[in-house]
């Protein structure tokens, strides 16, 4: 659509000289309605981490290649780094903080501990949100399905075997 | 990311009015555009968010074709019961691409309009004729393992990254667009283009035009088909070579066949003569070899991607065999049989 976007100096100056206007945004985040003001270029990931101090959601690659920023938007797993927050006006967001709390772990969190499904833990919030999305979708029936459908989440420690075990256990308990 | 103005129109006419100017980008799922904006490859001054337009439906049309709304997500399309039953080639190709998270966000229109993943296009510190006309091409003579073997020009050797579009090419979909000059229909084969001497143009959309739907013709390729995708890892990677086959057998003869390749050219690669050459033949590796030779005639290595020529040849033969046998490639069990 916009092939070869090259901007002449005058246009660039015009944009740079404009005051930064924030836009109103209403989101329900982990069950709480939030009235916010955001700059249009703020991603959901940056909003969560930098403005709302919900740092459980991780920034790995910031390019949709690693899955560390996976959250649930209206129950569906999405890469938060590739969504402009403003475009989600009215949506319901669930982050890792909304799934479980210390002392009150989500079944996936408990299963990740039981199965030793992480080492450094950086990818884990995204893995768990993605696994909840997988369960919500209801299309995974066996281990091979789980492995394929969890392939959007990279683990540099290589805990994949145990991650698949943890997800499969919760999936089978809920079936 | 560059600063931009943001608009969120509620109907198509308003969106098209907003999209008519220079330096405007339509925002749908955002999975490619936002990334390109972060890299300063895309620098729109205005972003028209089209996510609230009523274009997310999948609808049966009176002539038996199926209309995929431009804003239906890739996931909703692949798992739509009608798509699964009538166009399993498309469902398979979509599920071969990206990740569940990305397919939940990415839309059908956006899939068509995603840009190449050529490293030089993405890296603004290197020359790229697609990004800045006349700047030169870093990939020619550079690192070009993922690049085109067919249809390239001396200005650009990028490939189109989509899996979905390879299936749409084989299914001969129709792209519905609207714009400042009204509505029109573009045959899928005419939608994407080869780079030639205007590599910055990925497709034949005119300025301000917006894809509203993709129509799948009422043809039955639901028995003999396959989408075979070969890549560096089993999931969540772009194709080095992919093959979509839609076939119809009558008795023991090939009555109709379509073959489209991904990962090898600036657009999904079809050659009617390769298909015509094997119609009315009995399926066999010898016959499939004839089609592969015709489809790949004139293929050129750029240096690092020589392997693609042999890989594509074998992949075409294997895919035609899978389609003829009615044993399409599984996108879960990745073993190739």
pLDDT one-digit tens code per residue, A114-131: 999 999 999 999 999 999
Residue of B nearest to A43 (CA): B34
| One domain for residues A95 and A111 | no
Average pLDDT (A4-30) is 76
Chain B: residue nearest A16 by CA?
B3
A5 pLDDT above the threshold of 70:
no
Q: What are phi and psi of A36, to 5 degrees?
A: -125, 165
Inter-chain CB proximity B37 and A82 less than 8 Å: no
Q: Which residues pair with A32 in a beta bridge?
A: A29
Considering the domain boundaries, does residue A58 fall inside one?
Answer: yes
A65 is a domain residue: yes
Give the pLDDT mean for B275-280: 98
Cβ <8 Å between A40 and B26: no
Q: Residue A7 falls within a domain, yes or no?
A: no
In three-state secondary structure terms, B304 is coil
The predicted-structure confidence for B2-13, as pLDDT tens digits, reads as follows 899 999 999 999
Nearest Cα of chain B lies from the Cα of A115 at a distance, in angstroms, of 23
Residues of B with Cβ-Cβ distance to A77 under 8 angstroms: 100-101, 104
Average pLDDT for A36-50: 98
Percent of chain A with pLDDT over 70: 89
Q: Is residue A15 part of a domain?
A: no
User: Do A43 and A76 have their domain in common?
Assistant: yes
Chain B residue whose CA is closest to A75: B104
pLDDT of residue B110: 98
Please identify, among A46, A64, A99, the residue that sits at the C-terminal boundary of a domain: A99
Instruction: Please say whether the beta carbons of B144 and B128 come within 8 A.
Output: no
Identify from A4, A61, A91 which residue to disrupt to test chain B contact, counting B C-beta atoms within 10 A and taking the largest count.
Answer: A4
A60, part of any domain: yes
Residue at A14 is within a domain: no
Does the residue A148 lie in any domain? Answer: yes
| Residues A95 and A130 both lie in one domain | no
Residue A5 maps to a domain? no
- Residue B97: both structure tokens together: 């691409």
Quick one: tokens of A141? 């029936």
Helix (H, G, I), strand (E, B) or coil at A163: helix
Whether residue B200 and residue A4 make contact (CB cut-off 8 A), yes or no, is: yes
User: Is residue B25 predicted with pLDDT exceeding 80?
Assistant: yes
Q: What percent of chain B has pLDDT over 90?
A: 99
Last residue of a domain, one of A45, A67, A99: A99
Residues A157 and A124 in one domain: yes
Q: Residue A25: CB partners within 8 Å, gap ≥ 6?
A: A35, A36, A37, A38, A85, A86, A88, A89
Query: What CA–CA distance (Å, rounded) separates A93 from B99?
Result: 20
Task: Clarify whether residues A63 and A37 are in a common domain.
Answer: yes
CATH classification of the domain holding A163: 1.10.150.120
Token pair belonging to A167: 């997800």
Chain B positions touching A84 (Cβ under 8 A) are 6, 27, 30, 34, 47, 49
Mean pLDDT in residue range B306-326: 98
The answer to whether A43 touches A66, Cβ cutoff 8 Å, is: no
Phi then psi for residue A84, to 5 deg, are -70, 130
Residue A17 burial (CB count, 10 A): 7
Pairing of strands B253-262, B241-250: antiparallel
Residue of A nearest to B204 (CA): A1
Identify the pLDDT of residue A7: 60
Both A163 and A114 in one domain: the answer is yes
Range of the domain at A131: 107-174
- Tell me what pLDDT residue B74 has: 98
A78–B3 C-beta distance less than 8 A: no
Q: To the nearest whole angstrom, how far is the Cα of B50 from the nearest Cα of chain A?
A: 9
CATH of the domain at A90: 3.10.20.30
* Least Cα separation, residue B30 to chain A (angstroms): 6
Task: Please check the confidence at residue A88 and state whether its pLDDT lies above 70.
Answer: yes
Is the predicted pLDDT of residue A17 greater than 50, yes or no?
yes
Beta-strand ranges (E) seen in chain B are 5-7, 24-27, 46-49, 58-60, 66-69, 174-179, 182-187, 210-216, 224-230, 241-250, 253-262
User: Which chain A residue has the Cα nearest residue B6?
Assistant: A40
Q: How many inter-chain contacts (A to B, CB under 8 Å) are there?
A: 129
Residues from chain A contacting residue B35 (CB–CB below 8 Å)? 63-64, 82
Confidence of residue A4 (pLDDT cuts 50, 70, 90): very low
SS3 content of chain B, % helix, strand, coil (to 5): 30, 20, 50
pLDDT at B185 over 50: yes
Q: Does the distance separating the beta carbons of B2 and A15 come in below 8 Å?
A: yes
Which residues in chain A have their CB less than 8 angstroms from residue B24's CB?
2
| A chain contacts of residue B28, beta-carbon cutoff 8 Å | none
Higher pLDDT, B322 or A6: B322
The verdict on a CB contact (< 8 Å) between A4 and B2 is no
Please give, rounded to a whole number of angstroms, the shortest distance from the CA of B272 to a CA of chain A.
28
pLDDT number for residue A6: 54
Residue A1 has a pLDDT of 41
Strand order from edge to edge, sheet including B66-69: B58-60, B66-69, B210-216, B174-179, B182-187
- Subunit contact A137:B2, Cβ cutoff 8 A: no
The CATH code that applies to domain B224-325 is 3.30.390.50
Enter the ipTM: 0.96
Nearest CA to CA, how far is B285 from chain A (Å)?
Answer: 31
End of a domain among A67, A99, A131? A99
**Right CATH number for B5-52 from 2.60.40.3470, 3.30.43.10, 3.20.20.70, 3.40.1390.40?**
3.30.43.10
When pLDDT is averaged across residues B141-159 and rounded to a whole number, the result is: 98
State how beta strands A23-29 and A32-38 pair: antiparallel
- For chain B, where do the domains classified as CATH 3.30.43.10 start and end? 5-52
Q: What are the start and end residues of each CATH 3.30.390.50 domain in chain B?
A: 224-325
pLDDT score at A110: 98
Following CA atoms A121, A123, A127, A130 in sequence, which dihedral angle do they give, to the nearest 10 degrees? 150
Whole-number pLDDT of residue A21? 83
Chain A: closest CA distance from residue B229 (Å): 15
Q: Which residue, chain included where needed, has tokens 């390749």? A: B261
The reported pLDDT for the residue numbered A3 is 43
Number of domains in chain A: 2
Closest CA–CA distance from residue B177 to any residue of chain A (Å): 12
Q: With pLDDT > 90 as the criterion, what percentage of chain A qualifies? A: 86
Query: Taking 80 as the threshold, does the pLDDT of residue A175 lie above it?
Result: no
């Amino acid at each position: 659509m916009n092939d070869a976007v090259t901007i002449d100096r005058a246009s660039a100056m015009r944009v740079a000289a404009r005051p930064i206007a924030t836009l109103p945004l209403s989101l329900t985040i982990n069950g709480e309605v939030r009235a916010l003001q955001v700059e249009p270029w703020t991603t959901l990931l940056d909003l969560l981490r930098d403005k709302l101090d919900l740092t459980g959601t991780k920034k790995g690659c910031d390019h949709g290649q690693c899955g560390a920023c996976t959250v649930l938007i209206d129950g569906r797993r999405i890469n938060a780094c590739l969504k402009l927050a403003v475009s989600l006006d009215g949506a319901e967001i669930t982050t890792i903080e909304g799934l479980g709390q210390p002392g009150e772990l989500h079944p996936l969190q408990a299963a990740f501990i039981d199965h030793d499904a992480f080492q450094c833990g950086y990818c884990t919030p995204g893995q768990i949100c993605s696994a909840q999305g997988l369960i919500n979708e209801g299309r995974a029936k066996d281990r091979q399905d789980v492995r394929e459908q969890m392939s959007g989440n990279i683990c540099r420690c290589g805990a994949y075997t145990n991650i698949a075990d943890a997800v499969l256990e919760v999936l089978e308990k809920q079936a | 990311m560059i600063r931009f103005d943001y608009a969120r129109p509620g109907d198509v006419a308003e969106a098209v009015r907003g999209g008519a100017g220079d330096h405007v980008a339509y925002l749908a799922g955002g999975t490619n555009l936002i990334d390109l904006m972060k890299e300063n490859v895309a620098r729109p001054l205005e972003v028209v968010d089209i996510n609230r337009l009523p274009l997310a439906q999948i609808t049966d049309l009176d002539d038996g074709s199926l209309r995929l709304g431009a804003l239906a997500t890739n996931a909703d399309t692949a798992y739509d019961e009608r798509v699964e039953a009538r166009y399993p080639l498309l469902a398979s190709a979509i599920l071969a691409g990206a990740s569940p998270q990305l397919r939940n966000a990415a839309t059908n229109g956006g899939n068509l309009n995603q840009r190449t993943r050529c490293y030089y296009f993405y890296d603004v510190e290197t020359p790229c004729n697609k990004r800045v006309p006349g700047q030169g091409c870093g990939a020619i003579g550079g690192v070009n393992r993922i690049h085109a073997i067919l249809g390239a020009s001396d200005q650009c050797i990028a490939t189109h990254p989509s899996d979905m579009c390879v299936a749409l090419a084989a299914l001969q979909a129709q792209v519905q667009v609207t714009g400042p000059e009204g509505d029109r229909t573009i045959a899928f084969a005419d939608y994407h283009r080869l780079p030639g001497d205007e590599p910055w143009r990925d497709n034949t959309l005119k300025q301000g035009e917006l894809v509203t739907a993709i129509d799948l013709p009422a043809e039955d390729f639901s028995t003999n088909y396959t989408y075979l995708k070969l890549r560096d890892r089993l999931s969540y990677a772009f194709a080095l070579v992919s093959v979509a086959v839609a076939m119809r057998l009558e008795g023991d003869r090939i009555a109709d066949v379509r073959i489209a390749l991904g990962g090898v050219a600036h657009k999904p690669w079809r050659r009617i003569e390769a298909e015509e050459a094997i119609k009315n033949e009995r399926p066999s590796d010898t016959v499939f070899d004839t089609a592969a030779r015709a489809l790949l005639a004139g293929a050129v290595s750029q240096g690092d991607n020589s392997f693609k020529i042999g890989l594509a040849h074998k992949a075409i033969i294997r895919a035609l065999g899978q389609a003829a046998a009615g044993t399409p490639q599984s996108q879960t069990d990745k073993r190739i049989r």
